[in-house]
Structure 1
Amino acid sequence: MIKVFIILITIILSTTINADNKKLPIPRFVSIKSNEVNARSGPTTKSAVEWVFVKKGEPVEITAEYEQWRQVHDINGEGGWIHSSVLSGKRSVVITSDEEIELTKSADPKSRVIAKLMPKVRCGLKKCKEQFCQITCKNYTGWISKKVIWGVYDDNDRY
């Protein structure tokens, strides 16, 4: 019985370690998992807090990794080192235009407008298709050009 328990623990631990070692691309976008997250000057809890993210879902870009730590920055360049446990793969974006932007029903700029979005609004990202992304803001889901959002890349292979 003890042998079976030890084997199960070994399998579980090796699976966890392998999951953590998956190489995801850098840079990449993620979001903040909770309402108060400390960004530190280095990849350790002993490093000074340089910035505090105060909004769950805020999009950030990972630019470096060290063990379980991720170096991130927001749309304004603010950030630091954050433990991976307080980051989420759930994606979000920020409207970067200085003017209202139209959210359309389909990935065609000529399609029906379903909402107008104000500058600096945060929205959930669903998917991207060529130069457009499907986002959700409040109760509206529609399409918007990649050119007016921060939190996605221009290339078509990834978003």
Structure 2
Amino acid sequence: MTSLKSGLVALVALICLGPLAAIAEERGPVTNLPLPRFVSMKASEGNVRRGPSLTHRIDWIFKRRDMPLEITAEHGHWRRVRDRDGVGGWVHYTLLSGARTASVEIEMLDLLAKPEPSALIVARLEQGVIARVEECQPDWCAVSAAGYDGWAPKSALWGITADETFE
């Protein structure tokens, strides 16, 4: 009877706590920072390996400084990353920066003077341009690229989650 009772208690706890566990944010075992999270390439070139060590084969070489990357896992000094196309692997943490960048995801993006659709156009950015992200509100991000500063709809950028805000 006792084992049946403890089994029922465990089942009730699992049912009640299940949704809460899904809400809890996953944290990296090394840094205790959220996973997944966005960073950028600090180096102008970085080897992307099949596994988290120098003995693993190099699958890719990222050759774009400031490229936004998403960290999906951590192991020691290594971070598993992916780019906007889903391509990635393991990169040494010294090649990455916490500076936030984003890539333009639409054909031609109007950079606006204010976070309003009717605001003055400051510049136009082509698809694939990498911009530094300064601030993000619920629907807009303040970015800078090629000497221009302005606001862009968050939905037109890769490197920021839809619900992310920061100053």
TM-score range, shorter chain: 0.7 to 0.9
Aligned residue for 2:155, secondary structure, equals helix
* Aligned AA (1:48): R
Percent of pairs identical after alignment?
35
Question: Could you report, residue by residue, the CA deviation over 1:70-125 in whole angstroms, capped at 9, with x for unpaired residues?
Answer: 0001111111101111100011111111x211100111111111111111111111
Residue 158 of structure 1 deviates from its aligned partner by 6.1
User: Rg bigger for which structure?
Assistant: 2
Matches within 5 A, 1:134-145: 134-145=142-153
C-alpha separation between the residues in 1 aligned to 2:73 and 2:166? 18
* Aligned AA (1:81): W
Q: How many residues align?
A: 139
Are 2:110 and 2:125, in contact at CA under 8 Å, matched by a contact in 1? yes
Aligned residue for 1:85, secondary structure, equals helix
Matches within 5 A, 1:11-50: 21-50=30-59
- Structure 2 residues without counterparts, runs of 5 or longer: 1-28
- Structure 1 residues without counterparts, runs of 5 or longer: 1-19
**Partner residue, 2:11:** none
Match for residue 114 of structure 1 among 118, 122, 131: 122
* Aligned AA (1:121): V
TM-score under structure 2 length normalisation? 0.79
Are 2:135 and 2:166, in contact at CA under 8 Å, matched by a contact in 1? no
C-alpha separation between the residues in 1 aligned to 2:162 and 2:45? 30
RMSD over aligned Cα, in angstroms? 1.7
**Partner residue, 2:12:** none
Q: Which consecutive aligned stretches of 4+ in structure 1 deviate over 6 angstroms post-superposition?
A: none
